[in-house]
């Protein structure tokens, strides 16, 4: 518990310094082989999560990754697996910000994680349905929502409709035809402000 408190305090300091360079609602483009998805992120409610995501985007981490878990009527998940099913090294997990008032609704982007609360690193999912059962409750942590699809929901829905099956190490839910993130880029934020 003490380590978590120290990490949160340090994180708040880092978040405050980063916030000077990032607008409250930065935008990120996921250029996929199925079309573009434009995300608007919310630093006011999910600062740790947004800065973490932008850092991964700016480093080129997501380029060449696939949506490796697709469940119709639920969500599409990516950010952790390359086209050859290999994984890249992630940074340390970030604090769970699921109590921020944002709900897992259609078109929202949230962090994937392990069953433990503070385990999100790079993987994310975009909901295609009302997934408020993933929101926090008094007895459990939820899944942190940190933005919304503002363009390209048709692309998200097309990916969600792809036939799935086994692939690589995954026994189910892998699109049988690849859904590839060709490039992720910041449209407004630190990188865009430097240009």
Q: Where do the domains of the chain lie?
A: 2-194
Over the stretch 40-65, which tens digit does the pLDDT of each residue have?
999 999 999 999 999 999 999 999 99
- What CA–CA distance (Å, rounded) separates 177 from 166? 11
CATH domain 2-194 topology: Cyclophilin (2.40.100)
What CA–CA distance (Å, rounded) separates 138 from 135?
A: 10
Give, for all 195 residues of the chain, the pLDDT tens digit. 444 443 454 455 444 445 456 688 999 999 999 999 999 999 999 999 999 999 999 999 999 999 999 999 999 999 999 999 999 999 999 999 999 999 999 999 999 999 999 999 999 999 999 999 999 999 999 999 999 999 999 999 999 999 999 999 999 999 999 999 999 999 985 545 444
């Amino acid at each position: 518990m003490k380590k978590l408190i120290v990490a949160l305090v340090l994180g708040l300091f880092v978040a405050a310094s980063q916030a000077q360079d990032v607008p409250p609602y930065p935008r990120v483009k996921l250029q996929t082989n199925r079309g573009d998805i434009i995300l608007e992120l919310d630093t006011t409610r999910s600062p740790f999560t947004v800065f973490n995501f932008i850092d991964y985007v700016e480093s080129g981490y997501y380029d060449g990754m696939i949506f490796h878990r697709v469940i119709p009527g639920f969500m599409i998940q990516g950010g952790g697996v390359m086209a050859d099913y290999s994984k890249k090294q992630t940074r340390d997990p970030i604090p769970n910000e699921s109590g921020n008032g944002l709900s897992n609704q259609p078109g929202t982007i949230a962090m994937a994680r392990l069953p433990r609360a503070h385990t999100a690193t790079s993987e994310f999912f975009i909901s295609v349905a009302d997934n408020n059962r993933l929101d926090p409750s008094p007895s459990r942590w939820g899944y942190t929502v940190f933005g919304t699809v503002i363009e390209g929901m048709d692309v998200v829905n097309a990916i969600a409709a792809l036939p799935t099956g086994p692939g690589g190490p995954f026994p189910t839910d892998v699109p049988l035809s690849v859904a590839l993130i060709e490039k992720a880029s910041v449209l407004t934020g630190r990188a865009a402000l430097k240009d």
